[in-house]
A and B are shown apart, each in its own frame.
Chain A
Amino acid sequence: MSSTSLAPGRVAGSGPDPVGTTSTAARVVRGVVKVLSYTVLVLFAIATLIPFIWMISTAFKPNELSMEMPPVFIPPEPTLKNFEVFFKQMNAWRWIFNSVVTVSIITLGHVILYTTAGYALAKLSFPGRRLVFGMVIIALTIPLYVIVVPLYQMMFQFGWMNTYAALIIPALVGPANLFLMKQFMQTLPSSLIDSARVDACPEWRIFLRVVLPIAKPGIAVLAIFTFMGYWNGFFWPLIVTQTSEMRTLTVGLTSVRYGSFDYGSLMAGSLIAAAPMFLVFLIFQRYFLKGLTVGAVKG
């Protein structure tokens, strides 16, 4: 398990070159290769960053400059007018509120549901464990799109259409997160749990006092990825919300697009949608990069 963790310090691909180090020709070739590879990397990084830089700069520049070519990346007179327009014209505050509330509840729900269930699958022995795990694997392969029509119909029958219940409750389904937590819980030392059992510690207290504290990194990965996934989520909120008041930020943004083509306020809105994720990513980068590799672990 630990073998797949990121170890940026130890680089295997750049093994020593025992044969050609002394000859100048080889040194020139290696220099050229180095310059070339830096060029490729930097070019690709620029291509990745330009859309974001443009988004940020357009959000802060007067609309006359937004379609200027070559692009004005640093506006001479930064302005907050686009944000004013965005918040005035649309239900922007409501969309932000909706996104924050629903995504927070969904994330909390996922953490509670899948730390407990993942722990049970990984560390407790009970009849039917393999069966349950097999079902989870099958559930993993079912995409939302395949069940979306009956789910929509169900929301209708429950009278949940256009409510927070529809945005939150079906979103609690997350077989991928259960799988992730099960994989993670398996890496925790069983000896700790067993010694707590020997001390006649009840199971629920073992979970709260022994397992949860050492499972924090895994829970952090789970929470961050869940929050990001649903914050950026689009299809389900698009379908179950019908009025502007119930929209989440991403759905709200696309609904604006066809109303006006005022790039400034659109980019202000986009920046508001993207900025929390940038912040979370930059702060918790370690967890992000680790979380990406969890699913790829074999076994």
Chain B
Amino acid sequence: MTSTPASGKDHADRPPGRPRDPIRRLLQHRLYNEWFWAYLFLLPCLAIFVVFLVYPAMQSVVYSFEAFNPLQGERRFIGLDNYATLFRDPVWWTAILNTLIFTLATVPFSIAVSLGIATLLMPLHSRLQTLFKTVFYMPGVTSAVVIGMVWLWIFYPFSEGLANYVVESLGGERINWLGRSATAMPSIILMTWLTGLGAAIVLYMAALGNIPASMYEAADIDCAGSWTRFRKITWPLIKPTTLYAAIIGTAGSFLVFDIVYSMTKGGPGTATTTIVYRLYDIAFGRFEFGLASASAVLLAFLVVGFSVLQLRFFSTDVEY
């Protein structure tokens, strides 16, 4: 703004800070300038949000009240029928149940084990810590599709798979891991246990490193045992991290899709059909957009509801 040539005669010796043109004067005023740039900086990003996030989110709600099948060119208002259909659909309930099982089997495990591993890592030399962190976080930078691909070999139904090799060398009978309803979901859970901990371990190590040593010194003076130290010092102080890991983990588990798609396609039968997989199937397998949107709306409520519940549960005695 300062270098713009002013119009006409006043450009050489105008009084300082007093341009003639009222609009330019407005713009040159520091505060207005700040507003102007703030809006300019935010505009592209907000425009994209509105078009590709807010508008589709509202559309989702609208669609959920419609019979909308783009393949048949059908689109009409049917009120709550889609929701009623979902509530009567046994597969939808199976999908919710499967998602809940997956979430309950993976999130608490991940929190407990990553806290345990982080605790074991803390006394190590920092080089070793970094080495272990790198190893544990490796699956975190790898596409779920690639991980699924490799684990298909581990869960190969015959003796050539690693999991069956281990089972058979321990004297057990080989298992059709992903091919049977009873074992498919547990197999996916097992795989998640062994590939999904990296981020939580890193988070917990940061949190544990932040606990002031003086706290433990005080506990030592009082001769507090390790369990008491953990209960009274560590656990309360790392609670925000636990809360964060629980919320992020739950949201992620509720939305599990990539791994299901690349490993089992929801099968066998509906044994690994999760909410998002069901949504995908309704939307892009059968092109029932109305019904799919109704499940999307319910999914949104579930995700938000669970986060709020956890916030309540964990934040009862946390000081922020």
User: A13-B119, A116-B41, A202-B1 are contacts. A296–B240 as well, Cβ < 8 Å?
Assistant: yes
Closest to A178 in B: B45
Q: Beyond the given A126-B34, A145-B257, A293-B203, could you list 19 further A-B residue pairs with CB under 8 A, ordered by the A residue number?
A: A3-B210, A6-B206, A12-B210, A13-B234, A18-B220, A40-B117, A117-B42, A117-B44, A121-B42, A142-B53, A143-B300, A150-B57, A150-B63, A173-B52, A197-B30, A232-B141, A238-B261, A253-B149, A254-B262
User: A197 to nearest B CB, angstroms?
Assistant: 6
Is the beta-carbon distance between A149 and B220 smaller than 8 angstroms?
no
In the complex, per-residue mask of A223-252: 1 if CB is within 8 Å of any chain B CB, else 0: 000001001101100110000000000100
**A292 to B: closest C-beta gap in Å:** 5
| In the complex with contacts A254-B262, A278-B141, A6-B42 CB distance below 8 A | no
Q: Which partner residue on chain A sits nearest B119 by CB separation?
A: A13
Residues facing A in B154-172 (CB within 8 A) are: 154, 156, 159-160, 162, 165
A152 touches B283 (CB 8 A): yes
Pair A147/B257 contact, Cβ less than 8 Å: no
Among B7-15, B85-93, B129-137, the stretch that binds chain A is B129-137
- A residues near B258, Cβ cutoff 8 Å: 234-235
A residues near B146, Cβ cutoff 8 Å: 55, 250, 253, 270, 273-274
A202: chain B residues at CB < 8 Å are 1-2, 33
**How far is the CB of B27 from the nearest CB of chain A, in Å?**
10
| Complex contact A126–B35 (CB within 8 A) | yes
Please determine whether B45 and A114 come into contact, CB atoms closer than 8 angstroms. Answer: yes
How far apart are the CA atoms of A170 and B47 in the complex, in Å? Answer: 12
Collect the chain A residues with CB atoms within 8 Å of residue B292's CB. Answer: 149
The CA of A71 and the CA of B297, in the complex, are separated in Å by 46
- What's the nearest-Cβ distance from chain A to residue B260, in Å? 11
Report the Cα distance A232→B130, complex, angstroms.
Answer: 24
Partner of A234, one of B144, B195, B289: B144
State whether A37 touches B120 (Cβ < 8 A): yes
State how many angstroms separate the Cβ of A23 from the closest Cβ of chain B.
15
Interface residues of A: mostly helix, strand, loop or mixed? Answer: helix
**B34 contacts A270, CB within 8 Å?**
no
Partner of B123, one of A11, A120, A147: A11
Complex Cα distance, B207 from A7, in Å, reads 10
Binds A, one of B103-111, B179-187, B211-219: B211-219
B165 touches A70 (CB 8 A): yes
A90 at the interface (CB under 8 A from B): no
Q: Does the CB pair A257–B153 fall under 8 Å?
A: no
Indicate if B59 sits at the interface (CB-CB under 8 A).
yes
Establish whether residues B130 and A8, one from each chain, have CB atoms under 8 Å apart when the complex forms: yes
A288 proximity list for chain B (CB < 8 A): 137, 141
A169 in contact (CB, < 8 A): yes
* Bound CA span A285–B220, Å: 36
Given A4-B206, A41-B132, A67-B160, does the pair A143, B220 have CB atoms closer than 8 Å? no
Q: A146 contacts B297, CB within 8 Å? A: yes
CB-CB under 8 A from A14, the residues of chain B are 122-123
CB distance from A11 to the nearest CB of B (A): 5
Say whether A289 contacts B202, CB under 8 Å: yes
Cα-based distance from A257 to B136 in the complex (angstroms): 27
A280 B141 Cβ-Cβ under 8 A: yes
CB pair B202 A281 closer than 8 Å: no
Minimal Cβ-Cβ distance residue in B for A144: B255
A48 to B136, CA, bound (A): 7
Is A26 interfacial (CB 8 A cutoff)?
Answer: no
Within 8 A of A (CB), among B6-53: 30, 33-39, 41-42, 44-46, 48-49, 52-53
Interchain nearest-CB distance for B110 vs A (Å): 13
Q: Any chain A CB within 8 A of the CB of B304?
A: yes
A127 contacts B by Cβ under 8 Å: yes
| Interface of chain A residues 214 through 229 with chain B (CB within 8 A) | 228
A259 within 8 A of B: no
**Complex Cα distance A181/B248, Å?**
19
* Contact status of A151 and B134, CB under 8 A, knowing A124-B41, A132-B46: no
For residue B79, CB closer than 8 A to chain A, the reply is no
Interchain nearest-CB distance for B311 vs A (Å): 12
Assess whether A175 is interfacial by the CB under 8 Å rule: yes
Provide a sorted-by-A list of 6 A–B residue pairs whose CB atoms are within 8 angstroms.
Answer: A47-B194, A71-B165, A124-B38, A154-B52, A232-B143, A295-B248
